[in-house]
Amino acid sequence: MLGRFFYNFYKDTLSIPDEIAIYLNVFSNFIFIAVLGFIIFKTLRHFGSRLIHKIASKTKTQFDDILIKNLVFLNISRIIVLVLIYTFLHDILIDFPWIYKYAKILCSLLIVFMSIWFIRSILLSIKDFLRTFTSFKDKPLESYTQIFMVLLWMIGLLISFSIITDKSLVRFFTALGAFSAVLLLIFKDTILGFVASIQISVNDTVRLNDWITMSKYGADGNVTEINLTSVIVKNFDNTVTSIPTYSLISDSFKNWRAMSASGGRRMKRAIFIKINSIHFLNDEEINNLKKISLITEYIIERDIEIDKYNQANNIDKTLLINGRNLTNFGVFRIYIDEYLKTHPKINKELLFMTRQLEPTIHGIPLEVYAFSSEKEWSIYERIMADIFDHILASVPFFNLEVFEAPSGKDFLTLKKNHIE
């Protein structure tokens, strides 16, 4: 029996006094168990890791590699060592019953918490393994892991209180029922986050790597993590925004996933044309515009059609307003449409058009509505800039003017001309 082995050796063989032999006995017992535990721990880690690595290298599944990565076998080794110590604790402290009482409680608590840590490593391994499947890569698995861990820690704490107070675990669960209202208040955000995570997953509202915009929280970037209490968004300026998970079902936000999955990214931008620059085209202007290759055929066909109509109806064309006419603004719209048709970066399978909006105090908005075949932000912006560079540069060819608010320099020039 280990308890008195060293005591008998010190007292009988070495003739050490009884009181000193007792202390040397407990010290020797501790050293013996510590060395034994260390050897077992190292043996389990060494041979266990070698065995698992050998198996992992021969299997196609990544689950065994993930178990090693999350220290599952290390945690098993720790629990086995603690159980060994707990088993021999009575023998170690056979002469110190009052210390044994507290040491037993401490050892039991360590086993409980190491068991929680072991289950945590299993849950993390399952989560990481599921991430290897395409169908789970964009699911909020962290939320489910966290809710299990919250429940596990609650159970662990109840068991710990039961061990410390030496009271039945049933009594603590009964008290927990009476304390449920307070617990609901304490874990309100956690519960709301868990419910939100389930709704997000079921309704497929947000996935990992989705680009979302939520102005309330200043979020504009890709979702990097969805957990129990928050959604982490890495913004395009490399800042990070944390959004309460529940906000994704209680507040409005924009998810750009549909755009990313579609055939193009929408362009919707207008330029403002001065109203007093819009006029009917005379013959000279029409002949000049025929030289623009994109609209040559259109102008010729329309000019013939309009002339036939006016002649058939005996229209007096000495006044330009009479009958049917082409306008510089109308021809300019057709030119932009033709330009968009020939642009290599515009998706022709999706809607594209140029439309005139309601006149404003800044002129008439001429809006371009089209879809870029390139969806990456920087490339998209470059394409849109190129298109509008061309459109703005084309305006003078149609004797049109773009509205621009006068600057201080314009007023000074006007004043100077007035004085002169």
176 or 296, greater pLDDT: 296
- How much is the pLDDT for 2? 53
Percent of the chain with pLDDT over 90: 25
Reported as a pLDDT band with limits 50, 70 and 90, residue 25 is low
CB–CB of 104/51 below 8 Å?
Answer: no
- How much is the pLDDT for 318? 82
| Strand pairing report for 265-273 and 230-235 | unpaired
C-alpha distances (whole Å) from 14 to each of 8, 10, 44, 190, 255 are: 9, 5, 36, 63, 81
pLDDT of 306 above 60: yes
- How much is the pLDDT for 249? 80
Percent of the chain with pLDDT over 70: 73
CB–CB of 335/394 below 8 Å?
Answer: yes
145 or 338, greater pLDDT: 338
Residue among 132, 148, 136, 79 at smallest CA distance from 108: 79
Quick: pLDDT tens for 380-410.
999 999 999 999 999 999 999 999 887 666 6
pLDDT of 342 above 80: yes
Please compute the mean of the pLDDT values over residues 298-324 and round it to a whole number.
89
Reported as a pLDDT band with limits 50, 70 and 90, residue 367 is very high
Distance CA 79, CA 40 (A): 11
pLDDT of 178 above 60: no
Quick: pLDDT tens for 46-103.
666 666 666 666 666 666 667 777 777 777 777 887 887 777 776 666 666 777 777 7
- How much is the pLDDT for 300? 93
30 or 7, greater pLDDT: 30
pLDDT of 27 above 70: no
Place of tokens 């947000």: 206
Strand (E) or helix (H) holding 273: strand 265-273
CA 240, 244, 249: angle at the middle one, nearest 5?
120
